[in-house]
Amino acid sequence: MSNHFHALKLKPTDSASTIDQTTLRLTEQLSQQFKSTKANEQAQIALKGVRLAYEELSSDNDTKPAAISGSKQFNSRLRLGQLCLASGMITLEQLQEAVQEQQRGDRQLGEILLEKQFISQEELDGLLIGQELIAPDEEVSDALALQLMALGLVAEDLMIIALIEQRFASGSIGDTLVRHGWIEADILAALKID
């Protein structure tokens, strides 16, 4: 996900001065020293994303339409591996092992998960049936989710899991991400632009 407007939480109609001001505020907020090492590492990743977005958006007015059309749509439909992970049937390590094997050949992920006995046939059947019921294709419009992905702070797969979980939980998407340890609360606070 590389939409530069999402990275800065801006709209395509925002002025150059708004882009400048937003970038300056984000840079100042992310440049502080945070309490944890993880927060400092995430701040550095976010700063790189902010700088890249600013460079792309401010380099030439003609690049704005390209930035919009060049961004891919993000939807919350879970893939089989994400669903297995989100439901707790497999670990992240097991998913990575199965995906690596899938990349070496032309087999389906479900087949590999069965062969490795990570899931049963009944679980696979249930997951395939429930896949569409749990997360039909729908475009994600949560500004924080889009920003965190555009900045490279949260991977798309983890964000999908958090968004699905968010449908059944109270609190914000930020709360869900912090609870899982995928983003530090200090970074979310630093990214707030009000």
Neighbouring C-beta atoms of residue 78, cutoff 10 Å: 23
pLDDT, greater one: 160 or 66 = 160
10 vs 161, more confident? 10
Question: What is the pTM (predicted TM-score) of this model?
Answer: 0.65
pLDDT at residue 71 in the model = 42
Whether the Cβ atoms of residue 173 and residue 145 lie closer than 8 Å to each other: yes
* Segments making up each domain of the chain, as ranges: 4-73+150-191, 80-134
Whether residue 64 is predicted with pLDDT greater than 50 in this model: the reply is: no
Q: Which of 104-108, 155-159, 183-187 has the lowest mean pLDDT?
A: 155-159
Task: Name the residue among 30, 25, 29 with its Cα closest to residue 41.
Answer: 30
pLDDT at 22: 93
